[in-house]
Amino acid sequence: MVIDVKDEKKRAEIWLTRKEAANSQAELKKLISQYRKQNYLVTVFYSGERDLSEMTGLLLKNNTA
């Protein structure tokens, strides 16, 4: 789990691997609650199931056509 806090923008970004997402829901809920009480916008990012290089290539191809 990686937590990237941007105090000047009042944002907290939480990055989770697939394994962490499955095993740490209680901890995640606590973190979200903690940051929301401080009026932070909380965003949670979960790692995907597909190949990053392949999907990025498809995205670039689609957006440059």
Domain that holds residue 25: 2-63
Question: What pLDDT does residue 18 have?
Answer: 83
Q: What is the pLDDT of residue 14?
A: 95
Q: What is the pLDDT of residues 11-58, one digit of tens each?
A: 999 999 888 888 888 899 999 999 999 999 999 999 888 888 898 999
pTM exceeds cut of 0.75:
no
Q: Quick check: 1 and 14 in contact, CB under 8 A?
A: yes
In total, how many domains does the chain have? 1
Helix spans in the chain (H): 18-23, 25-37, 52-63
Residue 65 reports pLDDT greater than 70: no
pLDDT of residue 22: 81
